[in-house]
Amino acid sequence: MMLDISGLYASLMHEVKNTLGLMSITLDGVHPTGDPEHDAPLNETRLLCQRVAERLQQALLLYKAVNGQLSPMVDAYSPADVLGELRDEAQALVRDRLKVTVRIADDVPLIWFFDRNLVEMALVNAIHNSIQYARDRILLEASLDDGALCLAVKDDSDGYPEHILECVRNDQPYRSQGTGLGLQFARLVAQAHADRGREGELRLTNEDGAVFRLLLP
């Protein structure tokens, strides 16, 4: 018997997404009681659930990138809305372990053109990284940088390891203790956002902590 591998793969993926979606939204329905014995494992589980979701998205994105299907579907979105959504999502995840804030520079336009899914995916990965490494706070920031929209995730961690900064600066692949996929995808997402000959860009720096910047022309 011949197996329709790609069909099976698609329905498997579908099933995983459904179940994961269900799990995530079911967990959101469980409210904290104030009892650490109940709340701590609950919070941990929610975080883990988001991490699995993130990994699944990366797997799918990898599949798309390999098949050359990473063409962004650009429309107009409000940068403030996007960061607001991500902030609330992150704050709900970490409860009061960290403080997540948003800052929108005055010159940021009300709307900008980008693929909301791809950009959110890249930012969510950066946020999840910060949740792992930050001490007290995460700042999500929108500003204008030489005519491009700059969406930044800043934390108060020890900062990125030097070899990762080096590799991103030189546009090279790198190895990390983890998969290193998140940041590399962020770079792909940035570069997929080209407008009138100008490409988007991923910039990593260490300032007060790790600073992740996505520049979208």
Ligand X SMILES: Nc1ncnc2c1ncn2[C@@H]1O[C@H](COP(=O)(O)OP(=O)(O)O)[C@@H](O)[C@H]1O
Q: Is 44 in the site for other proteins (CB under 8 A)?
A: no
Q: Is position 117 an interface residue for ligand X (rule: CB under 6 A)?
A: no
For position 176 contacting ligand X by CB under 6 A, the verdict is yes
- Of 13, 37, 41, 14, the residue nearest 27 (C-alpha): 41
Q: Does 182 contact Mg ion by CB under 5 A?
A: yes
Residue with tokens 């709340």: 39
Q: How far is CA 185 from CA 7, 58, 98, 127, 174, in A?
A: 26, 8, 25, 14, 12
Which residue in the set 124, 160, 167, 193 belongs to the binding site for ligand X (CB under 6 A)?
160
**What Å distances lie between residue 104 and 80, 152, 182, CA to CA?**
7, 10, 24
The answer to whether residue 188 forms part of the interface with ligand X (CB under 6 A) is no
Polymer length in residues for the chain: 217
Which of Mg ion, other proteins, ligand X, none does residue 160 bind to, with CB < 5 to 8 Å depending on kind?
ligand X
Residue 85, contacted partner among other proteins, ligand X, Mg ion, none, CB below 5-8 A by kind: other proteins
Q: Site residues for ligand X, window 139-158 (CB under 6 A)?
A: 155, 157
* DSSP, residue by residue, 179-195: --HHHHHHHHHHHH--B
Tell me which of ligand X, other proteins, Mg ion, none is bound by residue 28, counting a contact when its beta carbon lies within the kind-specific cut-off of 5 to 8 angstroms. other proteins
Q: Rule CB under 8 A: is residue 80 a binding residue for other proteins?
A: yes
CB 100 within 8 A of CB 87: yes
Residue ranges that bind ligand X, judged by CB under 6 A = 125, 129-130, 133, 155, 157, 159-161, 164, 176-183, 210
